[in-house]
């Protein structure tokens, strides 16, 4: 076996090792994604239950489904779009810049952003 063959054999083994590592990493990511999906499904189930309970309680105290749907539409339009979503923006108390609700601190000055959701 000459030097070129040894080098080629080494490269083949390295490529095989890298491929195996990539497969393992993909499997880990897949497992993580499955766990995240289960977690999100559990949250959706919980929120559905909460919404059903709130809807029934509202009907029991005199609010109609139409009133509820009107309120949903009003809230949907607060962000300027009738798209079935509400994307509020937070203002940083320190620098007054708009910060995405997904962030826990201001990207500009680092101040912690207060979350106002009761859920």
Kindly state the average pLDDT of the residues 58-84. 88
pTM for this prediction: 0.54
- Convert the pLDDT of each residue in 8-42 to its tens digit: 999 999 999 999 999 999 999 999 999 999 999 99
Q: With 50 as the cut, is the pLDDT of residue 74 above it? A: yes
Query: Concatenated DSSP letters for 38-67?
Result: HHHHHHHHHHHHHHHHHHHHHHHTT--HHH
* Between 95 and 86, residue with greater pLDDT: 95
- pLDDT classification of 116: cutoffs 50, 70, 90: low
- Asked whether 36 and 28 are in contact (CB, 8 A), the reply is no
């Amino acid at each position: 076996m000459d030097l070129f063959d040894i080098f080629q054999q080494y490269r083949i083994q390295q490529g095989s090792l890298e491929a195996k590592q990539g497969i393992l990493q993909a499997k880990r990511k897949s497992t993580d994604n499955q766990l995240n999906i289960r977690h999100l499904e559990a949250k959706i189930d919980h929120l559905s239950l909460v919404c059903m309970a709130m809807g029934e309680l509202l009907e029991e105290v005199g609010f109609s489904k139409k009133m509820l749907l009107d309120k949903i539409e009003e809230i949907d339009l607060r962000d300027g779009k009738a798209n079935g979503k509400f994307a509020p923006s937070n203002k940083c108390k320190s620098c007054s810049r708009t910060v995405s609700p997904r962030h826990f601190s201001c990207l500009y000055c680092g101040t912690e952003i207060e979350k106002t959701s009761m859920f």
